Amino acid sequence: MNIIKMKMIKYLNIAFFTSLALIVNNLNADTLSEDASKRGINETCGSYLNQIEESYGLNGLNITFVNPNNPSIYPSLHISSKKYNNGSSTFAATLAPDGEYCYLSTIVVTAINNQSCNEITDLKIKEDPELQASTYSDDNYTILTPIDNSYQIILTTSGEMNCTMTETRMLWPGR
């Protein structure tokens, strides 16, 4: 009788953990834009979110907040967090529908270990020599701004060889 119970418990455990793995896989399977679409956000905003998602290569843990009563007319918040071998990043976008338009703001915060803010500044300026760099508070903060002012990157020193990089944008497409 004990052998039958043990086998039964073993099979129930296997079934339980297999089901749990499938549920967790489904939770992480949706992209931000897929989840937003399922939750009923404005179609234009969903299209923009999909484009942003592809351009930033977002594929981490995703969370979406929408108005429970009318998600297509109220702003929504979309967050994606990702771990790297030398740090982590968190992306957030707020989408605000306005009829056939959608306004959006994005912020990406990246914590980088084993690389100083000065090294990152040099790399960013080498990538785009037209970036303007301004430093503040004994070089603990650096702001990088492109000529068109379309975004800003704030580098914050967090130790000799650690840096937090925050990129912010606000977009008003179509108007």
Q: Cβ distance 158 to 110 under 8 Å? A: no
What's the one-letter identity of residue 165? M
The residue among 74, 75, 110, 72 whose CA lies nearest residue 91 is 110
pTM of the model: 0.76
- Name the DSSP letter for residue 60: S
The pLDDT-based confidence of 17 (bands split at 50, 70, 90) is: very low
54-108 pLDDT tens trace: 988 888 888 899 999 999 999 999 999 999 888 999 999 999 999 889 999 999 9
Residue 2 has a pLDDT of 60
Please give the helix or strand (H or E) that residue 123 lies within, else none: helix 117-127
End-to-end CA distance of the chain: 74
Banded pLDDT at 133 (limits 50, 70, 90): very high
DSSP 3-state helix, strand, coil percentages of the chain (rounded to 5)? 35, 35, 30
Mean of pLDDT over the chain: 84
Structure tokens at 16: 């339980």
